[in-house]
Structure 1
Amino acid sequence: MAALAAPEAAAPQGPTEAGETTEAAELSRSLSRLLPGLEADSKLGRRRALEALQRVLEAAQPEAPDADPDAAAAAFQGPWELRLALVQLLGLAVRLTGAAFAPHLDDAVRALRCTLLDPFAAVRRESCECAAGLARATPDHFHMQSESLIGPLMQSISHQHWKVRVAVIEATGAAIQFGSGKSVDDVLPHFAQRLFDDVPQVRQAVMRVVGGWLLSLRDRYSFFHKLIPLLLSGFHDEIPEIACEASTLWEQVGLQWQTENEEDLKDKLDFASPPPAHHPSPGDRPGLGCRELVFRNLSKILPAVCHDIDDWVAGTRVKSAQLLAVLLLHAEDHVTQHLEPVLRALLRACADEEAAVVSSCTRSAELVGTFVSPEVFLKLILSTLRKSPSPSGLLVLASLIQGCPREALRPHVKVIAMELAQAHICQGSENRLYGERLLQCVQAVVSAGREDCRGAGEPLLEVLVTVLALWGPTGLGDKVQETLAALAAVEGMDGSQDLFRAHVSPLLEWLAASHRDWTGHSVELLQLDVVLSHSGPALGEALPQLVPILRSCLQPARDPAMRLKLFSTLTGVLLGAPETVDSQGEITGHHSDLASLEVTLICCWASSQSIVMQEVLFPTCVQRPLGLGETIDGTESALAPSRVEDPQPSCCPSGPCSLRTVTPQERLLRAGLNSLKKLCSEASCGKRVAQFQIRVQSEASKCCYQSSVRHLYRELLVYLDDPEHAVQDAVLEALKAGSVLFPDLLVKETEAVLHKHRSPTYCEQLLQHLQALPPAQ
């Protein structure tokens, strides 16, 4: 075998090859002789050595045009120009000699360590190009010196000139590619910082270098878990070209790895499974190699991502949240074994003040819901919500449900709805954001479950009633109405009123379970108000459930503030009785209950004079609701033991009188008057402003309370001279509205006080209004 190899070794060289070898050897000897002169002590000596080097190199490249001596003399006018020329000559020497430059590697590296930190940007940039060329020219020897260049390169990677930063990144890529992999750990934190660079070219350089390492770095398998996050972070770059290039590089990496591990992936390649039917983008599903790379390195990547998602720098949190979504899209159902730390990270990140972080984490939660069984993720997220309800927890739950396939979610719809309806969750906070997230959960259940929600309509409606009660006034009312319409549609109903008709009785039973413990601050009062105001004609079918609640809550012994709030709610219902409680014409069957309730209201008003009301309503004070006059007379004996005295005896010519001599309308009016006097005595203008609506049922009933109305006129006329214009305007409107009762009486009372007011303007306006009334009034 040695004999067979001898002729090949002894093969004669051609004339051209021999000449090139001789020239290279001669050039090497010349450079060895002249390069030490560059380190001479005197500037003149260094300059002469430089000129000699230039002549030798130009002679070795005869095709190059002759240098202009004048231009060369101008190039060395300043110190930076000298340094730049030196680096350029060094780069030229490396390019011309190639591997033959290896004997001078140590000297070149020492020089570059200085010039890479040169104050002049052009010198640094030229030094980076020279370092990259040196690494490519001497790969067999460069690995011994590569680590010594990493320090200066990393010191220059944040240079203010973006071209210098790009050159440093490219030089670093070559230095590690042809050098030692030990420096990767030193370089990666700096590269990660460059992903936030404002200049797109810098970010693009990072993508290209990292992609090149993943494709051709000798020991790249050891660094996959560190390099993959950098490349995948480019998927969401704001420049589409960079994002596209990062995606292309990643595909190449995945295909190459798949080819290199084809034997290991044989079964998966031969029996490739189609994309999941519920995959968010089955046409763009990552290749097998890419998915396997992420899956096999996920346990090493996730801890760092979950840590950075809480970083104090907003940009880092945004990048980490975006990267998490990309990783989950690749991992698919393999994320199940990492679900607990992922959900913990999402719970924290969904409370972030940065909208971009929340958006990316919402997307991540949807992907978890897509690929993970609901039996698994519901066990974890519902347990968390039971312990500590929060807006972020509700948002994660809503996103999980939104991403879950309908078939998988079907058995769990009712469980989710019942959990949301629990008081500690649906009333977990008064914060508006909490209500918004709770509403999102219901919307997700309805949109994802669709017709499967029919068995969960009642608890879902309870949640919507709570949201409307607590956060409807804050701007969520329209969204709740849309959700009610959507829920009605999936239950096969025409609208929200049909939805309430179907569930009004269970809703009232739900509220009745706690009505004995209600106070003025109870959420259930607001919930009852929503049910009564939205049920419409369905209330006529639910009187057996409604009346006992009202009778119990309006007893004089109950909390006065609660009774007043409930009375205000009931007022609106009774005014529209034909469209609400009497929609079925069955009100006569509850006359005795409502009669007792009306008298209870009288006592409620008479005993609540200490409560400062924000609004005093008189629609039912002077108009007998539901025409129950005959029934009220039958309640005398029941009320006789209490003998509630008239709170304003001066309003009635007959002096003190009991309920048997004072009509219910008059008693309510007088009780309201006492509250008005209390209200008007407050220092705050807002508490003294009251609006009154005074209605009459028939002219024949006026005589029953003329004395009370006279007293009311007198009280109100005092406040036409109030220092606050808002009070004067409100009282003027109230008197105009109430003038329909006894206009002549009001004219007389107004003329009597006209001369007493500091400014008669408002009294004159009232008189003008009264004079303009039609003669019939």
Structure 2
Amino acid sequence: MAALVATEAAASPDPAEAAETAEAAELSRVLSRMLPGLEADSKLGRRRALEALQRTLEAARPEAPDGDPSAAAAFQGPWARLLLPRLLRCLADPAEGCRALAVHLLDLGLRRAARPRDALPRLLPALAARLAGPEPARRPPPEACEELRLALVQLLHLAVRLSGAALAPHLDDAIRVLRCTLLDPFAAVRRESCECAAGLARATPDHFHMQSESLIGPLMQSISHQHWKVRVAVIEATGTVIQFGSGKSVDDVLPHFAQRLFDDVPQVRQAVARMVGGWLLHLRDRYSFLHRLIPLLLSGLDDEIPEIACGAAGLWEQVGLHWQMENEEELKDKLDFAGPPPAHHPSPGSRPGLGCRELVFRNLSKILPAICHDITDWVVATRVKSAQLLAVLLLHAEGHITQHLEPILRTLLHACADEEAAVVRSCTRSAELIGTFVSPEVFLKLILSMLRKSPSPSGLLVFASIIRGCPREALRPHVKVIAVELAHAHICQGSENRLYGERLLQCVQAVVSVSREDCRGAGVPLMEVLVTVLALWGPAGLGAKVQEALAELAAVESVDGSQDLFRAHVGALLERLAASHRDWTGHSTGFLQFDVVLAHSGPALGEALPQLVPILRSCLQPARDPPMRLKLLSTLSGLLLGARETVDSQGQFHGYLDTLIKDIFVPNLQWHAGRTAAAIRTAAVSCLWALVSSGVLSDEQIQEVQEMLTPQILSSLEEDSQATRLTSCRIVNVFLKTSGGVMDPDKFIKIYPELLKRLDDVSNEVRLAATASLVTWLERVGNEAGKCYYQSNIQQLYRELLVYLDDPESAIQDAVLEALKAGGVLFPDLLVREMEAVLHKHRSPTHCEQLLQHLQALPPAP
């Protein structure tokens, strides 16, 4: 019975199969009628045959989205037997339109066939013949039309998608095609080829690795293509090719990927981060390349596009977690007993995970040499990226920086001298991280040693940045050591470059801002550094910044302003300076520091006279450097002019008056040949004038000065310098006003002839000052009990003054008239006689008449 059923079943075919067979037979008959047209001699005939085939295939059974197995099975036979061979021959048709229709029909056929893989043995060689040719490296592909080359590559990509692993036996042809099309002049062909290469790698993972290396060369030739979409496609394709291919190629592609980190197009940089992150997560041999892949991904964390930076950060976090899970047993203790972030972590809320930190720490020794090399590259972008990456690595390494500290410091010292601000900015950030994570005992030993050997602006910048990053508690025991080291001459006076002074100032500011009240024990050396900066670079524009630093230091020392700060430390500063003052010249740093202390100490100088005056006396001796004496006398003149607020703030300056006169003024007022000596005498006269006009000396003290300095002042009335002669006249006037009746008559008589000479001076200002002094001289004679003793001298003075009463300058005439009026009270009759003797000689009798009227109005002598 069973045999009977089986026989009946065999004799009665399945209706579906019958329908399928009938459909295939009908399609075969239709195609058979059309196919001879493909062999026509005319282009038009072949084209019409292909168009008829297209209409037939498209109308026979519209392609369904979900596919129809029965239709595909019915189509398979006629397609493979009749249509495929003839269409493949049409790929070489001389007419471009016919080739394009053939490609389109092949695409339709592959999509509708039940077993597209059956077409591969004939399709792949045909595609290789049209796209690769026999010598792809030397000759252009046989297919000249770029749109057709794109369609052929798309056809290959379709075959890869539809055939899957069945493509493995034909991998050679596919690779040969892609090696050519990846270098095609048409950008769209390159992009499609990249997608096809990635699809091929995914479709044949078991065999692709043996051929993957042959695609790396063409891919890397296209990675710098001018179209950014091609570059993105190449990067993505390379990632997949290596993922499913040979890990040996990683070393070949990484330099090219590193160059793409500098790409101007954000999408390209994003593609690099995405591909490298994928390798770190999934590449089979990733552990061998961690030290090369990690820098590429971490470089994306500082990308200028926030989206790229966030994407790279997310990938990096995934990589760290993945590695942490893979090494969970090894990290068990650190996971179970994880402590909080370091107390002074710059961003404790976003501290990298344990896996990320461990990855960096374990590979840091392999990564650092390359970073240290690239940070000195001649290409600016490379230096910027390397500096940014170094800061990221140090943030992850934390305390493990210590074992690599010396090469890192050497690198930072070199990089902080870079002309590119972005490089310097990132390097100072790295230095701050060193201060945060490394013990001061360690970094001070290294950085101070480097500064002692070769002080430089970059070294000081690194030092200042390290201090800024150091926690206050850790820095507290070392504040004085740092301040003393900065104050040493080999660092404090290491260069005359303005940038050096700016960096030195930054070191002091860093110490003060971090240590705050802990600086109180180091005030003197810090002040010494600030005074040095002000002395050497204040004129170069750092004066305002130094004043800010002084204000900060005053605040932490709880004093009111910089003057109180100088008051607290001026004694110690002068003691330090006194140790070297015997060797000073006008350009000595010690002298410049001394000048700054004098100019900025204000009232504090009145408390430091025991230290100040000996230095002044020593430096102002005639044997010392003339430029230094000239500068110091100018400074001293300013101090004496405001003596009540400077050297006499405590009312003790009179105790040093004798030293000032005998040891400073007398030697510097002595005549010596030369312009410099004349300038020094002018400065000394200015100092004397500042002293006698300051109001700090009593009349008795001025008389003491007069007794010792009158000969020198009278001599200075003959100086070539107008300023000296003018100031000397004024000093004589002050001497006369305070002399009273104590001056020796013989010395008193010698004064007026010198003043008379000044009436012939080239300067009217000097002549007026001399006339004013003569008025004072005459007034002093009137106060003398024995004025008759001076009668002959006064008569001579009358005669001389009457000459100048007819001076061409009206101002001089007026001044002389007042002098004669003041002196006429002494011997009016004598003056009238002298005036009558010369009246006829005057050009105008006006002033003589005024004088005569004044004399006649005087009361009679008793």
Quickly say closer, same or farther: Cα 1:712–1:88, change in 2 above 3 A. farther
The answer for the alignment partner of 2:11 in structure 1 is none
**For residues 141 and 537 of structure 1, do their structure 2 counterparts lie closer, same or farther at Cα, with a shift above 3 Å needed?**
same
1:490 aligned onto 2:556: yes
Quick one: distance in 2 between partners of 1:455 and 1:634? 45
Output the TM-score relative to the length of structure 1.
0.80
Gaps of 5+ in 2: 1-16, 18-66, 116-141, 738-747, 776-799, 823-862
Structure 1 position 541 matched with structure 2 position 607: yes
Q: Give 1:287's aligned amino acid.
A: G
Residue 709 to residue 494, structure 1, CA distance change in 2 (3 Å): farther
- Whether 1:627 aligns to 2:697 is yes
- Asked whether the equivalents of residues 28 and 100 of structure 1 are also in contact (C-alpha less than 8 Å), the reply is no
**CA contact 2:641–2:691 (8 Å) conserved in 1:** no
State the Cα deviation string for residues 209-262 of structure 1 (Å, max 9, x = none).
111111111111111100100010011111111001000100000001001110
Conserved? CA contact 2:640–2:691, under 8 Å: no
2:448 alignment partner, one of 366, 382, 385:
382
CA distance in 2, matches of 1:614, 1:320: 58
1:145-544 correspondence to structure 2 within 5 Å: 145-544=211-610
Q: Which amino acid aligns with 2:660?
A: L
Distance 2:538 2:263 in 1: 44
SS at match of 1:546: helix
CA distance in 2 between counterparts of 1:598 and 1:250 reads 75
Instruction: Name the aligned partner's letter for residue 298 of structure 1.
Output: L
Cα RMSD (Å) of the superposition? 4.0
Look up the match of 2:110.
Answer: 57
List alignment gaps of at least 5 residues for structure 1.
Answer: 1-14, 63-75, 637-658, 678-690, 718-733, 755-763
- The reply on whether 1:564 has 2:630 as its aligned counterpart is yes
The answer to whether the 8 A contact 1:257-1:289 is kept is yes
In structure 2, do the counterparts of structure 1 residues 17 and 252 end up closer, same or farther at CA, with 3 Å as the change threshold? farther
Per-residue deviation, residues 179-213 of structure 1 (Å, max 9, x unmatched): 11111111111111111111111111111111111
Report SS of the residue matched to 1:230.
helix
SS of residue in 1 equivalent to 2:377: coil
Tell me the distance in 2 between the aligned counterparts of 1:247 and 1:749. Answer: 95
Question: For residues 116-166 of structure 1, what are the alpha-carbon distances to aligned partners after superposition, in whole Å with 9 as ceiling and x for unaligned?
Answer: 111111111111111111112221211111111111111111111111111
1:93 maps onto 2:159 in alignment: yes
* Alpha carbons of structure 1 residues 129 and 491: separation in structure 2 relative to 1, 3 Å: same
Query: Alpha-carbon deviations, 1:712-746, whole Å to 9, x = none?
Result: 984457xxxxxxxxxxxxxxxx8899799689999
What SS is found at the alignment partner of 1:353? coil
Q: Report the equivalent of 1:573.
A: 639
- Given that residues 713 and 749 in structure 1 are in contact (C-alpha distance below 8 angstroms), is that contact kept between their aligned partners in structure 2? no
Instruction: Pick closer, same or farther for the CA change 1:179–1:562 going to 2, 3 Å.
Output: same
Q: Aligned partners of 2:616, 2:773: CA distance in 1, in Å?
A: 34
SS in 1 for 2:341: coil
Deviations 1:351-404 (A, max 9, x none): 000011001000000000100011111111101111111000111110111111
Displacement of 1:462:
0.4
SS for the counterpart of 1:238 is coil
* Residues 76 and 113, structure 2, Cα contact 8 Å, conserved in 1: no
Q: Tell me the distance in 1 between the aligned counterparts of 2:752 and 2:275.
A: 93
Q: Deviations over 1:538-561 (max 9, x none)?
A: 111111111111111111111111
Deviations 1:36-59 (A, max 9, x none): 759869678976864552342243
In 1: Cα distance, 2:300 partner to 2:650 partner: 66
In 2, are the aligned partners of 1:592 and 1:631 still within 8 Å (CA)?
no
What does residue 123 of structure 1 align with?
Answer: 189
Contact 2:212 2:246 in 1 (8 A): yes
Whichever residue aligns with residue 54 of structure 1, its letter is: D
2:736 equivalent in structure 1: 701
> Aligned in 2, Cα 1:32/1:206: closer, same or farther, shift over 3 Å?
farther
User: Would the aligned equivalents of 1:34 and 1:52 in 2 still touch at CA under 8 Å?
Assistant: no
Cα separation, partners in 2 of 1:248 and 1:27, compared to 1, 3 Å:
farther
Identity of aligned residues (%): 68
2:106, 2:250 → 1: CA distance? Answer: 36
Moved more, 30-39 or 579-588: 30-39
Per-residue deviation, residues 657-693 of structure 1 (Å, max 9, x unmatched): xx9784444445655728989xxxxxxxxxxxxx999
Alignment of 1:102-121 (within 5 A): 102-121=168-187
How has the CA–CA distance of structure 1 residues 262 and 712 changed in structure 2, closer, same or farther, with 3 Å as cutoff? Answer: farther
For 2:704 and 2:724, the matched residues in 1 are separated by 30
Indicate the structure whose relative CO is greater, using CA pairs within 8 Å and at least 6 residues apart.
1
CA distance in 1, matches of 2:394, 2:403: 12
- Number of the residue aligned with 1:729: none
Aligned-partner SS, 2:621: coil
2:106 alignment partner AA: L
The alpha-carbon deviation at position 60 of structure 1 amounts to 2.9
TM-score by length of 2: 0.72
Asked whether the 8 Å contact 1:606–1:671 carries over to 2, the reply is no
Deviations 1:554-610 (A, max 9, x none): 111111111111111111111111111111111232232222234345346756634
Q: Is the 8 A contact 1:560 1:611 kept in 2?
A: yes
Aligned partners of 1:369 and 1:401 also within 8 Å? yes
Residues 560 and 49 (structure 1 numbering): CA distance in 2 closer, same or farther, change over 3 Å?
Answer: same
Structure 1: distance between partners of 2:390 and 2:223: 27
Q: How does 1:653-664 map to 2 (within 5 A)?
A: 662-664=710-712
Matching of residues 741-760 of structure 1 within 5 Å:
none
Q: Is the 8 A contact 2:384 2:423 kept in 1?
A: yes
User: 1 CA distance for matches of 2:529 and 2:231?
Assistant: 56
CA distance in 2, matches of 1:669, 1:488: 47
| Structure (1 or 2) with the larger CA radius of gyration | 2
Whole-angstrom distance in 1 between the partners of 2:813 and 2:386: 72
Q: How many residues align?
A: 686
| SS of equivalent residue, structure 1 residue 540 | helix
Deviation at 1:521, TM superposition (A): 1.4
**Can you list the C-alpha shifts for 1:468-511, whole angstroms capped at 9, x where unaligned?**
11111122111111111111121121221111111111111111
Contact 2:205 2:244 survives alignment (8 Å): yes
Q: Offset of 1:106 from its aligned partner?
A: 1.3
Give the secondary-structure state (helix, strand or coil) at the position aligned to 1:367.
helix
Q: 1:366 to 1:676 in 2, by over 3 A?
A: same
- Aligned 8 A contact 1:374 1:408 in 2: yes
In the superposition, relative to structure 1, how do residues 611 and 236 fare at CA in structure 2: closer, same or farther (>3 Å)? Answer: farther
Q: Is the 8 A contact 1:150 1:183 kept in 2?
A: yes
| Match status 1:586 vs 2:652 | yes
Q: Which amino acid aligns with 1:467?
A: V
Change (3 A) 1:590 1:49: same
- The CA distance in 2 between the partners of 1:573 and 1:249, in whole Å, is 69
